[in-house]
Amino acid sequence: MKATIFGRIVFPVLLLSAACGDVSSPVPATEETTPGDAAGDVLSIVSGNAQLGEPGAPLAEPVVVRVTRAGLPVAGARVRWSLTGGGRLAGDATTDANGFARAAWTLGDAPESSSLTVSHGEAFSSFFAFPRIGVTRTDIKLVRVAGDAQTGTAGALLGQPLVVKVMSGRTGAMAGVKVRWTVEGGGRIASDSAFSAADGTVKARWTLGTAGGSQSVSASAEGVLPIAFVATAIPTTGEPVTLVRVSGDGQGARVGMQLAAQLVVRATNGGGTPLSGVQVTWSVRTGGGSISPATITTDGTGQAYARWTMGPASGPATAAATVAGAQEVTFNATALPDSRVSALVKVLGDGQAECPGCGLREGIRVMAVDGEGNPVPNAPITWTPSAGTISYSTTVTDATGTAGAGWTLGTTPGVQTLTASSGQVSTAFTATASLGGDGVVASIGFSVGNTGLEPGQSGYARATALDTRGLAVPSAVLTWSTDVPGIIEFTVTPVGSYTGRATFRALKYGEVRLTASAGGQSNTILIRVRPDPNNGGGGGSAVRGATDSDAP
C-alpha cells in the first residue's frame, strides 16, 4: 500500500462488514493548481493511510498529507482530493503554515475497498486495487518497538532498524505472523516482508529516499491495523544543516543536582531558516552526570531542549549537542561542592599515647565532606575533649576541607577522647595518657626548625626526654649546651623540664652543635651559619668548620 509520488497519492481503505448496496455521493473538488506551481515539490502521506472502517461511517482518523520543497514545508500549496468507491470527503484546499493538508473521510455504504486520490500540481494517473477483507483480527495488533522518528542522510541507511512486535490479547507475543513493509516517500526496505520471531518481533533496515524531508514506512499484517514509522531525510546537496547554541551555557549547580535552565539549540539551513524534525543527540562529555533526553527532534521553531544533572564530583563539566552532518555544539557548567557537611573523616593524630598532662606530639586533623565525598571548605568544627585542654575550641576548615587542633592530655592516666563535630555529624579521636615504663630516659627526641642561617636569622629546636616506649618521662630535666661559643645565642622555654623549646639566633658565620641532655642520654643538632651575602661575606671572623667552600 504505497503512496508517495511527485504530485499524486492514493489512500487505500479496507471495509469491515458485508452489507448490501452501494450508494455513492459526489465529492466536492477544490480548486486545481495551474501547471508549474508544484515544480520540485514533494507530496507525502503523513497519517491516516490503510485504515479499517464501517461502511457509511467516518474513519477514526483524518487523512493527512504534507507538501515540501527541498526538505522545507510549503505553505498555501493547492491540493485536490477525489474518491473512488463512494463516500464523502471534507478536506483542506491548501496546505497550512507547516505544509500540512487534512481531510475527514466518510466511507460509502458499499462493502467494497475504496481509494482516495490527492494531487498537487500536474497530476498523472495511478490506480490501485485492493482485496475485500470480511473479518478483522481484532485480537491481534502490531506494536511499534524501535526505529521511529529517526533523522538520516537522504539516500543512506538509517542507523537503527525498524522493529515491530506482533501481540495477541490472549497469548501475548506471537511468532510466525507475516509482516509486510511498505515504503512511502521513496527509499527501500531490505526485505519487504518477514515472519515474526519467537518474541513476536520483526525487524527491517530502511534506506531513505534521495529527496529531503519527511518519509514513512508502514508495517502491516493480514487483517491487522497497520502502523507507520516516520523519518526525516537531510538532503545531500545544497546548504548543510547548522546547529547553534541558544541558551543554557555557563550554569552551575550543586553536585548531583539539575541545572536550573534547559540547554537549548537551534537547527537551521545555510540561510538561517529554522529546520523542524531534525534529530539532535545530547551527551555528557566531561564531569559525569546525566542528560535527558538522549535524543530529541527539533520543534516547529527548529529548537531542541535537554535537562542536565551534575555528576558526583565538583568541578567543570561539558556536554554536547550533535546533528548528523553538522558541527557539534558544546555547553559548559560547574558542579559546585555541597555546602552541607555529611561526615567528618579523621585525617591525622588518632590513637596516640603520651604522658599525663603532656601535649600530643602529632596534631589532630579532620576533614569535612559532603554527601558525595567532596571536601567542604569553610565548615565550622567544634572540638570537645573528655580531659585535658585544646589549642582552639572552634576552627574552620581550609580550602582542602580540613581543620586541626593541638591537644594536651589530662593528668589522669588512661584513655581520653577528643570529639570533633560540625552540625549534626561528629567523630572522636582517642589518646592514652600513660606514665611510661620505669621512668628511665632512653633517648632524647628532637624536632627542628631552620638550622641553616645567616647572621641575624633565628631558628628553633624542641627536645623531649623519652622512655623505651617512646613516651615522655616527666621526671627528667633537660640541660642545653653548645660546643662553640659566640656562633649563636639561645633561650629555652620552659627551663628545668623534661621537654623544652630552644630558640636561637645566629651571631656570626660558622658551625655549632646544640645538645640537649637528660638522664645520661643526649641528642645533638648541627647549626650552620652562612656568611651574610650583603656584607661581603663578613659578619665576624670564621669559626671552626667554616671554610670558603661553605659560603653560598
Tens digits of residue pLDDT in 401-412: 999 999 999 988
**Strand bridging mode 150-153 / 224-234:** parallel
Q: What CA–CA distance (Å, rounded) separates 220 from 225?
A: 7
CB 314 within 8 A of CB 342: no
10 pLDDT above the threshold of 60: no
Q: What type of residue is 479?
A: T
- State residue 437's pLDDT score: 60
- Res 536: pLDDT: 53
- Whether residue 547 is predicted with pLDDT greater than 80 in this model: the reply is no
What is the number of other CB atoms lying within 10 angstroms of the CB of residue 141? 17
Does the reported pTM lie above 0.85? no
State the chain's mean pLDDT as an integer.
81
Q: What's the pLDDT score for residue 425?
A: 94
Which amino acid would we find at residue 522?
S
Q: Which residue has the higher pLDDT, 356 or 308?
A: 308
Cα–Cα distance between 404 and 366 in angstroms, integer? 6
Enclosing H/E stretch for 241: none
- Quick one: pLDDT band at residue 70, thresholds 50, 70, 90? confident
Helix count and strand count (H, E) for the chain: 0, 47
- Region label for 534, one of left (φ > 0), alpha (ψ between -120 and 50) or beta (otherwise): alpha
Q: Which pLDDT score is estimated for 18?
A: 34
d(CA 316, CA 115): 60
C-alpha cell at 301: 521553531
- Return the pLDDT at 86: 65
What domains appear along the chain, each with residue ranges and CATH number? 8-119 (2.60.40), 140-234 (2.60.40.10), 242-331 (2.60.40.10), 343-433 (2.60.40.10), 443-550 (2.60.40.10)
| Cβ neighbour number for residue 468 with a 10 Å cutoff | 12
What tens digit of pLDDT does each residue of 339-380 get?
A: 788 999 999 999 998 888 888 888 899 999 988 788 888 899
Q: C-alpha cell of 213? A: 524531508
Which pLDDT score is estimated for 193? Answer: 92
Residue 405, C-beta contacts closer than 8 angstroms, at least 6 positions apart: 363, 364, 383, 390, 391, 392, 395, 418, 420
Please tell me the least confidently modeled range out of 232-236, 431-435, 459-463. Answer: 232-236
Tell me the range of 17-21, 29-33, 257-261, 356-360 where mean pLDDT is highest: 257-261
Give the mean model confidence (pLDDT) for residues 51-72.
79
Interval 181-201: pLDDT, tens? 999 877 899 888 999 999 999
Residue 255's pLDDT is: 86
pLDDT-derived band at 329 (thresholds 50, 70, 90) equals: very high
